[in-house]
Amino acid sequence: MKVTIVMRGTLRKVYGYDEQVVEVPEGSTCAQALEAIGVHYKEEPKFGFVSVNNMRCMIDDELHDGDYLKAFSKVFGG
Amino acid sequence: MTQTMLGYQNKVLRIDLTKKGCSFEPLRMDFARKYVGSKGLAIRYMYEELEPGIDPLGPDNKLFLTTGPFTGTPVPCSGKLSIAAKSPATGTMNDCSVGGHVGVRVKYAGYDMIIFEGQLDKPGYVLIDNDKIRFMDAEHLWGKGSHEAEKILADQYGPEYSILSIGPAGENLNIMSCINCDYYRQAGRGGIGAVMGSKNMKAIVIRGTGGVKVNDIEGTTKRLFEILRNDVVNDDNQFIFDDGTTAFLEACNDGGILPVNNFSDTTDEKWTEYNGEVLNSYRQGKRGCGSCGLGCGNFLKIGNAICEGPEYETIAVAGPNAGNRDPEKIVKFNEVCDNMGLDTISCGDTITWAMEMTESGRHDFGIKFGEADKMIEYVEKIAKLEGVGADLALGTKKASEKFGGEDIAMQVKGLEYPQYEPRGSWGMALSYAVSDRGACHMRAYAPNEEVFAASIPPYTPEGKGQMVYNLGEFNAIKFSLCICDFWGTIDYAIMSELLTRVTGVEWTEQDMADVGRRVLNIGRAFNQREGFNRAHDTVPKKIVRDALQNGPAAGQVIPPEAFEDMLNQYYEIMGWNQDGTMPDELVKSLL
């Protein structure tokens, strides 16, 4: 299936792109999709949270064809 | 301990507005050793000098302008100024932080702190030119917008002077009024502008041409450049230069904490109509405060609307929380609030409350969600106490006591909610509740952990007492050092190292934690003396009654027992009694 992966905040600079469409196996989780493009979120101190289709979700949630996965860096302050 | 420390001027300027006189006195170094500066020092002085029960708008209230030991030094992000007084909105202590260059000028004029006492007999402004203090007539400025008044003074005195001013809202003793600085920066909350207005003081004009002594200037400067390169101007903090606080909008929307229609729901499917990408496409320029290494300020011009910002809070309150998606109207709302001298958060929340009151048929305030032009008109009415504006100028707490709708009045202790929905970040409900000046997001910013870092589950009371305490302790010392919120990667090691280098006195990481805790407690002690206790650490009924319908937090409501559980946890960590009061020994240990 195809999903769009978007980097937000500092992650854009760290990984060098804003957005890319990737092919991942059916049943892949957010974590697996990110790992597939080299985003090792567990080792990435700048990593914050993920959302799918503009809704925050858990890193182990399953993706579906056409999903829009965003990875946010941590932000500070308010 | 009365040890003199470098980094301080060791001088307080006390201005008696009633007698039009002034005096100079040494800074209480025993206070500085326990509370460091800025926020903490201001609250300690307030505790010492403000008699319990005084009228916040009477001559006995005082206005404290307080710097910190880093102010005016090359320490990055240290240029802010604390402005504090007893709040006319809440009756609690209130300290605000304002950016721009005024903090540095107060310090370079030779002062750690300036205290304004009494009241002028007629509208005036105070001119502080180093050690020369003059009391000037302001009849020609009274009634003018803050921007107009500041321009007149700026044209007269030139760019070496900073100007703090109030708009018509402050003159009219509006409890939502702010103090403006350098045109577009605000000491925003708790009606601090009304305190200045009650003193008949339209403006403070200040120039400082001195300097400040640092213990080890060579070593400190060398180290500061390393820190600046490695810890300030780096990828982690860069977002604040690139996007300003517009960066929060998408994170809050996707995170389920962006409020919609007076906190009736969260997450707006039309958020891309007014997001950072849209707003920053109208950017005219950037600006930072004195000693800033980040430069968060964005100047925008859309049509005939111009402002510095809008910051996330204003985008949210004049955007989705008001049912508006027009970015030009958001910027215009910001501009008019600034010029009228009104806090965008409290003014915005009060209008969105009126919108819900009207739509729900409880009381017709003549405005509904999505009526953005009318919202902007209402700002001026509120500032000038005209028509419906006179009722809304009461703020949500007092207006809801008069017209009903207390259950949907988004406030704690009379201070309106900032724009983070607690049902999507339960710790924020606790943070707002125990904040010493009423609902404030700057005391303990729970979304950092519960949403943005996803380090703590958001929809549970478990661990929230400790989380809010940790965040609160950290911000209490950070702001007492006058460090800007947006240096997000600073830690106790850097704080204590820099404080030791600048002052020449040893400070440890544990000292930073101890000062933070003390600052939280002295604020609480001030409020306790004014009669505040657990009964005032509240959550709006809507948050514990109505489940969210949309977004990732759909279905979430904070059960009342969960809220009480979080309060219990927090009180236990603070060493307070379960009725929210502080043991006598704890209060004594603060003095």
Tell me: the pLDDT tens digits for B138-172?
A: 999 999 999 999 999 999 999 999 999 999 999 99
Question: Is residue B22 classed as helix, strand or coil in its secondary structure?
Answer: strand
Mean pLDDT for B352-367 is 98
Cβ–Cβ pairs < 8 A, chains A and B: 87
Buried b (16+ CB within 10 A) or exposed e, B391-425: bbbbbbbbbbeebebeebbbbbbbbbbbbbbbbbb
* A67 in any annotated domain: yes
Ranges assigned E (strand) in B377-465: 411-412, 415-416
**CATH code, domain with A22:** 3.10.20.30
> What is the span of the domain harbouring residue A41?
2-73
Q: Residue B2: pLDDT band by 50, 70, 90 thresholds?
A: low
Question: Above 80 in pLDDT, residue A1?
Answer: yes
Whether the CB-CB separation of B344 and B317 falls below 8 Å is answered with yes
Cβ(B35)–Cβ(B112) below 8 Å: no
The tally of domains found in chain A comes to 1
Domain for residue A33, yes or no?
Answer: yes
pLDDT score of B188: 93
Interchain pair A49, B489: CB under 8 A: no
Beta bridge partners of A52: A55, A69
Distance, CA of B322 to CA of B340 (rounded, Å):
20
CB atoms within 10 A of CB B32: 28
Write down the residue that tokens 């180093």 correspond to: B130
Q: Give yes or no for a contact between B5 and B504, defined as CB atoms under 8 angstroms apart.
A: yes
Q: Is residue A37 assigned to a domain?
A: yes
> Is B254 within 8 Å of A76 when comparing Cβ atoms?
no
Does the pLDDT at position B30 exceed 90? yes
| Interface contact B256, partner A, CB < 8 A | yes
CA proximity to B385, closest of B395, B393, B377, B375: B393
| Range with lowest mean pLDDT among B40-49, B210-219, B326-335 | B210-219
Q: Is the residue at A38 inside a domain?
A: yes
Which of chain B's residues have a Cβ under 8 Å away from the Cβ of A73? 236, 239
Structure confidence by residue, pLDDT tens digits, B92-118: 999 999 999 999 999 999 999 999 999
pLDDT of amino acid A77? 67
Would you call A56 and B256 a contact, using CB atoms and an 8 Å cutoff? Answer: yes
Q: What is the pLDDT of residue B206?
A: 98
Give the number of other CB atoms < 10 A from CB of residue B555. Answer: 10
Residue B4 has pLDDT above 80, yes or no: no
Give the domains, in start order, of chain B with CATH numbers. 12-207 (3.60.9.10)
| Among chain A residues, CA nearest to B419 | A78
Rounded CA separation A70/B251 (Å): 10
Give yes or no for residue A78 having a pLDDT over 80. no
Q: What pLDDT is stored for residue B1 in this prediction?
A: 46
Q: Where are the beta strands (DSSP E) in B17-122?
A: 21-25, 63-66, 81-86, 93-98, 113-117
Q: Which among B408, B417, B411 has a CA at the least distance from the CA of B356?
A: B408
Q: Sort out which chain A residues have CB atoms less than 8 A from B255's CB and list them.
A: 49, 51, 56
CB B401 within 8 A of CB B532: no
Beta-carbon contacts of B132 under 8 Å, excluding residues fewer than 6 positions away, are none
Q: Is the pLDDT of residue B522 over 80?
A: yes
| CB contact A28 to B (< 8 Å) | no
- Tell me the one-letter amino acid at B265: D
pLDDT exceeds cutoff 80 at B88:
yes
CA distance linking residue B240 with residue B145, whole number of Å: 29
Mutate to test the interface with B, among A6, A46, A61, A75 (most CBs of B within 10 A): A75
Using DSSP, how many helices (H) and how many strands (E) does chain B show?
24, 19
- Whole-model pTM: value is 0.96
Specify the pLDDT at position A13. Answer: 83
Name the pLDDT band for B3 (thresholds 50, 70, 90): low
Rounded to the nearest angstrom, the gap between the alpha carbon of residue A40 and the centroid of all alpha carbons in its chain is: 10
Percent of chain B with pLDDT over 70: 99
* A78 found inside a domain: no
* Cross-sheet strand order for the sheet of A2-8: A19-23, A2-8, A68-73, A47-52, A55-57
